[in-house]
Structures are given as structure tokens and as C-alpha cells.
Amino acid sequence: MHTTLQRLSTVLFGLLLAIALGGCATTSGTTPQEKRKAVLDMRSEVLTELYKLRPSTRAEIAAAPGYAVFSNVNINVIFASFGGGYGVVRDNRSGRQTYMKMGEAGIGLGLGAKDFRAVFVFRDRASLDRFINSGWEFGGHADAAAKAGDKGAAVGGEALFDGITVYQITQSGLALQATVKGMKYWKDDELN
């Protein structure tokens, strides 16, 4: 019982820390316009890379009600993992962009750091709206990623919950992890 409370406390502390880190994770630029441009540039680069690695995703994303692209840095230290990042959600029907931040924390075995990009493809309007308005995702996560320079690019597909598929592209870092994580995505008040 005591160990369970310690782990829960660690996860809650980590989630708060990750949300704080996510709040600090910023794009380049000093004005909101420059920051929005940096997020949109990141999105373009990530989609170009994804389309090169998995050409079929271009049609998948075009046919979807919407999609999101996030830049995330994740740190794993023995029994805890923390991360933060930023991104943008695009509603394909209206063309509206919703700028968001994210934070994550978890417990489990892990070591290393990983800088990666994630593309969320929303299969239905309800999952898109739910993500923008509440943005929680909890689940188990296990992966091994290694990339140095231009070597070791990795992309994988993973269904997180009904109506959403996620593709992750590792940018740099070395990480080996098997964790249970909590993630929070929320609207960026400065950029929306």
C-alpha cells in the first residue's frame, strides 16, 4: 500500500512537472506571430519526413477530419519519465489551426532522452473535438529508439484510443523505456 502511494505521488508530481515543462517548451520567436510561424514550419517539416517514410499517410491525412503534429522531448531516468512539447491541430473541414502544448509523466523502467515528432490522425469528428477540448491520453508505452545524426530514423504507427492513429518520428537521442504514462494536451492561450 505504501509503495503504491509512493508511485502514485511520483506520477502526480511528474505529471505536474511535465505540464510545467510543456508550458515552458516554446518555439523560436518572440512574438505570437513568429511562434505560430515556427510551429507551422515544424509541422511542414514533420509531414514532409512522414510522407517520405510512409507515402500512404499523405492520402490518409487528407481524407481525415483533422490531424495534429507535435514536437516532444522525453527524458527517462530509471523509474520515471517526463516530457513536454508543443504543436498544432488542423481541422481539415474548416481549415482552423488550434495551437497546443503538451506535458507527460510516467513510471516504469527507462533510461535516456528522446526528441521526437508525433502526427495524430483523427478518424472522426468526435475524436478531433475531444482531443482539442479535453486532450487527455493515458496508456502504456514501450519502445526502443536510437538515432544519431541522420542515422536511425524510426517511424511507427500506434492506435492510442478509438478514432486516433499516431505516427512517431524519432529526431535524435537514445532511449529504452517501458512506462505507464499520463499525457495532457491543452490549448496554448498565447498563440490561439
Q: What is the pLDDT of residues 56-95, one digit of tens each?
A: 999 999 999 999 999 987 665 666 667 788 999 999 999 9
Q: State the residue range of the domain holding 7.
A: 2-187
State the Cα–Cα distance between residues 3 and 74, nearest whole angstrom: 25
Overall pTM > 0.95 = no
Which pLDDT score, from 0 to 100, does residue 122 have? 94
Q: Is residue 61 assigned to a domain? A: yes
72/103 Cα distance (integer angstroms): 9
What pLDDT shows up at residue 65? 97
In a domain, 165, yes or no: yes
Residue 68 C-alpha cell reads as 495534429
pLDDT at residue 104 in the model: 76
Query: How many domains is the chain built from?
Result: 1
Task: State the Cα angle at 103 between 98 and 104, rounded to 5°.
Answer: 135
Strands 136-147 and 155-161: unpaired
Q: What is the mean pLDDT of residues 103-124?
A: 75
Mean predicted lDDT score pLDDT of the chain? 75
DSSP one-letter string for 126-139: HHHHHHHHT-EEEE
Assess if residue 119 is contained within a domain.
Answer: yes
Pairwise CA distance, residues 177 & 179, whole Å? 6
